[in-house]
Amino acid sequence: MQDLDYVLDINTPLAVVVVDANGVILHINRWMADWSGHTLSAVAGMPFEHLYPEVLAQGWPFGPAAGAPKPSYIGQVSSSFKVLDLPDVFVLHITTPRGRLDSLLCFPHETAQGEPSYALFFYDQNDGTKHHRDYARVVQQLQRVQLERHAALLCQLEHTTAQLMQNEKMAGVGQLAAGVAHEINNPMGYVFSNLKTLESYMQDMLKIIDAIEHVNAIDDLRQLKRTLEYDYIRNDIEDLISESEEGVERVKNIIAALKYFSYADDDTMRSANLNDGIKSTLLVAGNEIKYKANVVTELGDIPNVICSVSQINQVVMNLLMNALQAITNSGTITIRSGHESAWVWFEIEDTGVGITPDIQRRMFDPFFTTKPAGLGTGLGLSLSFNIVKKHHGRIDVVSTPGMGATLRVWLPVNPEALPAS
């Protein structure tokens, strides 16, 4: 990708001065240096109107001098970099040791650091037959460079956003890891204990079986059975096996929920039921929630939606954690789902502190958080907002301070069937 300075210095057959929004000189090309008799090092950082005070009487539109007589505006050049309320084309002229230079164009662009700047193109009034072609060629080059730069920045932004999303997801997984481990450890603990008890029972049962070959009378065998508590063992074995099967089933469900929650990080758009994602997320986050909030589910009969399962599950998780953190001591979280026409919705309502109007306006901004330092990244709601937006949906917020909040997520059943906006 060509750099702007390269275009201005090498490919521009015009005298160019680049100023910032205050009119301070950032750069001049070699043609401007030749005409003005000043080097870049001599004028960099100097307000342009100090070098050429005559522009003040012509309506110099930058810096403290702005607001004087307006320059003679000619028209507008297509540009997406309107920082100051200035037309792109206006008439200025300066007098240099080599003669008069006229300007017809102020091209708004950005520096490599992303700061607003303006390229003023000056031409020799005695060579007017040529400058129109020069202007057109240079503007095309600059616009191409800006588009390339913006494309690169957009690519970088998308990469950064994806990385932030993954980091937030991993932070959430890390936060839940202890709770999931606890949820798995409990059933595995009593399954292991039951196996040890069954091992002991098996030793006693084998003693009874082996004794059949050696006892002299049936009464001796009956006495051994009473000594080893055969009747109790027989009944307890059934309970141990049933309890162990229940524990293994719980572990199986937790693992299945984890798999569905992450969906192997597959962001492919597919048909899925939001209720399944809500249930799996609740199962994964259950240990995190149960000590602080009672969860009520009111899930409706809803159609499938085309979505990225792992990303929507992440939204559910983020909204759940946000609701949980809004509850001071203990409270209730209610999760509902439903559909209207071609839209499916789910909402999470909490009995927490509520959200004030000023916070509502900023709650989806990146890195905005009301939590103390170290207790939140400020990315959860922002990433959730971006995920829902990517799915062509929206998030509605209803809250009264001190009386909790409800966040409702709307998703189209089929994004491709939406009317073109």
- Tell me the pLDDT tens digit for each residue of 279-337: 988 888 887 788 889 999 999 999 999 998 888 988 998 899 889 989 988 999 999 99
Backbone angles phi, psi at 391, to 5 degrees: -90, 10
Average pLDDT over residues 29-41: 89
Query: Distance between terminal CA atoms of the chain?
Result: 33
Of 161-165, 238-242, 348-352, 373-377, the one with minimum mean pLDDT is 373-377
**Environment class of 136 (CB within 10 Å of its CB; exposed 0-12, middle 13-18, buried 19+):** exposed
- DSSP per residue, 382-419: HHHHHHHHHTT-EEEEEE-TTS-EEEEEEEES-GGGSP
Higher pLDDT, 256 or 299: 299
Angle made by CA atoms 144, 150, 151, in degrees to the nearest 5: 90
Tokens 């399944």 correspond to: 276
Given a cut of 70, whether residue 380 has pLDDT beyond it is: yes
The backbone region for 227, taken as left when phi is positive above 0, alpha when psi lies in -120 to 50, beta otherwise, is alpha
What is the percentage of the chain residues whose pLDDT exceeds 90?
A: 21
pLDDT given at position 147: 62
pLDDT band at 250 (very low <50, low <70, confident <90, very high): confident
Cβ–Cβ < 8 Å for 69, 59: yes
- Rounded to a whole number of angstroms, the CA Rg of the chain reads 36
CA 164 – CA 172 distance, rounded (Å): 12
Given a cut of 90, whether residue 378 has pLDDT beyond it is: no
pLDDT band at 80 (very low <50, low <70, confident <90, very high): very low
